[in-house]
Amino acid sequence: MKNRVVITGLGVVAPNGVGLNEFNKAIQEGKSGISFHQNLKDKGFSCCIGGIPEISEEKIAEYLTPLQLRGFHSTSILYGIIAAVDAYKDAGFAVHENSTLDYDTGLIFGTGTSGIEKFREAIYKIDDQNVRRLGSTSVVQTMASGISAYLGGILGLGNQVTTNSSACTTGTEALLLGFERIQNGKAKRMLVGSSSDSSLYTWGGFDAMRVMTYKHNETPKQGSRPMSATASGFVPGSGAGALVLESLESALARKATIYAEVLGGNVNSGGQRNGGTLTAPNAEAVQKCITDAIADAKIKSSEIEVINGHLTATSKDSLEIENWTKALKRKGVNFPFINSLKSQVGHCLAAAGAIESVASVLQIKHNFVFPNINCEDVHPEILELITKEVIPTKKIQKEITILAKASFGFGDVNACVIFKKYKE
């Protein structure tokens, strides 16, 4: 008998809200976190807008000591620490420097790149023959598992502590890896999530690929337009999302708040075959990922009421909708409500799956479907598949029992998770 897994803590650092309450309010209102950034223009970017969380120095000092902040240059690690510590506290746990080692709780926290500014600093110092001035934190800030290394020590976690990296699928994949560990009895709790930095060194490659919009530098809040006929590329975003997963038995014993239940999910790859490439999805594999997730969750596709899609505001949005219709065997007015958080925060890359999972769970807990902003002009190819009424542009108050969330990433990798409102 496998353990049931529930969500008992949430934390988020997003372009439109830092902290759970601010973020929850923002997504219900359809608040955009996209703004113009002069440094992008100064460096010759075509896309000069993006989503960067606003965090004060006073806020940062609540999470990291002056010693830890000395020579600290990784926004990815910073965002991840804030979101994860908030989720841990939200689940009812205290953070103590000398706490007892907790062998029942582990951590899987993903990222795409870590400490790229620190890498740049290190390269210049080595080139200038100043290697001894690199500082003692250059390794932990630049290694891929830097985020889990920091968090494991801050929280004193003794179960598996690791980092995953799977492009834009990272956060959803981390959630499912943690889910399986608890389900199989290898941990009572897993803190899962992902983060992505706000570095122009990360965003620059996408700008060079011409996949980011350049048409909204004067109107940044209108720039991110998933499912829109006038979408012209994604807007880069950054931040982190974190969730505490816990066995139902452990949560009930602690009398913890339960946000939702994780029913199941699936992770797969299209192998860059049958139309799939390094940057484009194999449609057959996407559909299989969704249908296998539904089977793992032991539900019927007809039970899904809301989809939180990947939907990046690129030419692939129509294909994603087509894949959902084929996987669910539902079209037109029979299709679930569908939304994309990227309309509000941009594409947060490796952090996207985690931030969007937090938003998905908040919808279930608080009975609403957040709006797709900038989508009054739905793409005609999408309207051939589903009706405009299932793409809300204003908040809908609705009790949600089952929600599907999916992420698709570079490398032709896919992940889909099924959430359910918890009922005893």
Gap between the Cα atoms of 268 and 234, Å rounded: 24
- Tens digit of pLDDT per residue, the chain (424 long)? 899 999 999 999 999 999 999 999 999 999 999 999 999 999 999 999 999 999 999 999 999 988 888 767 789 999 999 999 999 999 999 999 889 999 999 999 999 987 677 656 666 555 556 655 556 566 777 788 999 999 999 999 999 999 999 999 999 999 999 999 999 999 999 999 999 999 888 899 999 999 999 999 999 999 999 999 999 999 999 999 999 999 999 999 999 999 999 999 999 999 999 999 999 999 999 999 999 999 999 999 999 999 999 999 999 999 999 999 999 999 999 999 999 999 999 999 999 999 999 999 999 999 999 999 999 999 999 999 999 999 999 999 999 999 999 999 999 999 999 999 998 7
Gap between the Cα atoms of 194 and 92, Å rounded: 21
Residue 199 is predicted with a pLDDT of 84
Structural domain 5-260, CATH architecture? 3-Layer(aba) Sandwich (3.40)
**Is there a shared CATH topology between the 5-260 domain and the 264-420 domain?**
yes
Residue pair 355/416 in contact (Cβ under 8 Å)? The answer is no
Gap between the Cα atoms of 269 and 408, Å rounded: 9
Q: Are strands 34-36 and 396-397 parallel, antiparallel or unpaired?
A: unpaired
Residue 175 is predicted with a pLDDT of 99
Gap between the Cα atoms of 424 and 418, Å rounded: 18
Our CA angle for 408, 203, 167, nearest 5°, is: 25
Residue 8 is predicted with a pLDDT of 98
Question: Cα 420 to chain center, whole Å?
Answer: 18
Task: Using CA atoms of 324, 327, 330, 333 in order, give the dihedral in degrees to the nearest 10.
Answer: 0
Q: In the block, which residue shows the tokens 């992902």?
A: 194
CA-nearest of 34, 143, 135, 10 to 85 is 10
Q: In which region does residue 181 sit, left (phi positive, over 0), alpha (psi from -120 to 50) or beta (all else)?
A: alpha
Helix boundaries (H) for 184-241: 200-209
Q: Are strands 17-18 and 5-14 parallel, antiparallel or unpaired?
A: antiparallel
The three-state (H, E, C) secondary structure of 363-419, written as one string: HHHHCEECCCCCCCCECHHHHCCECHHHCCCCCEECCCCEEEEEEEECCCEEEEEEE
Task: Using CA atoms of 86, 109, 368, 395 in order, give the dihedral in degrees to the nearest 10.
Answer: 100
Tokens standing for residue 44: 């010759």
- Residue 237 CB partners (closer than 8 Å, separation 6+): 14, 15, 33, 34, 50, 51, 52, 196, 342, 345, 346, 347, 348, 349, 351, 352
Tokens standing for residue 196: 């992505």
Gap between the Cα atoms of 355 and 340, Å rounded: 11
Q: In the block, which residue shows the tokens 């452990």?
A: 250
Instruction: Tell the CATH topology of 264-420.
Output: Peroxisomal Thiolase; Chain A, domain 1 (3.40.47)
- Residue 384 CB partners (closer than 8 Å, separation 6+): none
Task: Provide the residue ranges of all domains of the chain, joining segments of one domain with +.
Answer: 5-260, 264-420
pTM of the model: 0.96
Burial (Cβ within 10 Å: 0-12, 13-18, ≥19) of residue 280: middle
Residue 313 is predicted with a pLDDT of 97
Residue 124 is predicted with a pLDDT of 54
Residue 133 is predicted with a pLDDT of 58
Q: In which region does residue 271 sit, left (phi positive, over 0), alpha (psi from -120 to 50) or beta (all else)?
A: left
Q: In the block, which residue shows the tokens 């983060």?
A: 195
Gap between the Cα atoms of 207 and 279, Å rounded: 14
Q: Are strands 239-247 and 5-14 parallel, antiparallel or unpaired?
A: antiparallel
Residue 142 is predicted with a pLDDT of 74
Largest CA distance in the chain: 66
